[in-house]
Amino acid sequence: MAWSIAQVARMSKVTSRTLRHYDEIGLLPPARVGANGYRYYEQEQLLRLQQILVMRELGVGLDAIREIVHQGRDRIEVLRLHRKWLLAERDRFGRLADTVSRTIEELKGGDNVNAKSMDHWFEGFDQAKQGELQQEARERWGAEHVDAANAKVGGDSRQWRQEQAARWKAQLGALVELIDAGTDPTDAPVQDVIAGHYRWISGMWTPNRESYSGLGDLYADDPRFRANFDRTDPRLAEFLRAAMAEYARTRLD
């Protein structure tokens, strides 16, 4: 049995555009292409798509996923490995849910919570990961820049943060539209969007040529960032990298 690209998109909640991109980069070729140019997928391709989506949810970048799926490993072995990863994530979220539940029960008992019991209020939170990211940033961009950025946003309200997130989302949406239109990263409309991104970033810290281009590399190379961009559009990270490098080269010192 074969499914059209539109049917696969509906059942998987993955856009047809993303499926076509997976084909173009050799990650998920269809089983066949009809005389009408339509792509058709069979069970083997659906299993691979499930594998790709699981790894995306786990934060694995497309380049790494391509290497994994091309290793030719037994499908049952791969599914077992994915199940192991998912169960580990389930257990982690279960610990977080237990932590919140215990806190609720203690607070229901009154305002006087024993200080010792508060130790488990923070069980399950991966604070080490936050520290790791902070340390990477300090080493990459300099401690003074990271500390200044933290001080800048540390006391801002939730509304301010929501506004910044909305600006970032709008910039990414504009870039996807330009990609769809066939615009080059060096073209003026793209560079205008990147100028807006640079102004937005400069509200927290002011990158120079090297650090702004390096930020574009970080967006594309770090699997934690790359996975987020891939969820928006799998072409976006590399396009953004090229556009930011052009902006840094032509407009920054």
Domain ranges (residues) in the chain: 3-69, 87-122, 127-251
Q: Cβ of 250: how many Cβ atoms within 10 Å?
A: 10
**Range with the largest mean pLDDT of 15-19, 57-61, 91-95, 161-165:** 15-19
The verdict on domain 3-69 having CATH code 3.90.1170.40 is no
Q: What percent of the chain has pLDDT over 90?
A: 27
Return the higher-pLDDT residue of 83 and 202: 202
Nearest CA to 235 out of 7, 65, 24, 13 is that of 24
CA 138 to chain centre: 21
DSSP states along 144-184: HHHHHHHHHHHT--HHHHHHHHHHHHHHHHHHHHHHHTT--
DSSP states along 116-136: GGGGGGGTT--HHHHHHHHHH
Query: How many residues comprise the chain?
Result: 253
According to DSSP, residue 201 is labeled: H
- Report helix, strand or coil for 39: strand
Q: What is the pLDDT of residues 192-202, one digit of tens each?
A: 999 999 988 88
The verdict on domain 127-251 having CATH code 1.10.490.50 is yes
- The pLDDT-based confidence of 70 (bands split at 50, 70, 90) is confident
Residue 219's alpha-carbon distances to 10, 13, 59, 170, 241, in angstroms, are: 29, 25, 13, 17, 7
pLDDT surpassing 50 at residue 85: yes
Torsion of CA 114, 117, 123, 129, to 10 degrees: 60
Q: What is the pLDDT of residues 191-247, one digit of tens each?
A: 999 999 998 888 777 888 888 888 888 888 877 788 888 888 999 999 999 999 999
Q: Cβ of 6: how many Cβ atoms within 10 Å?
A: 12
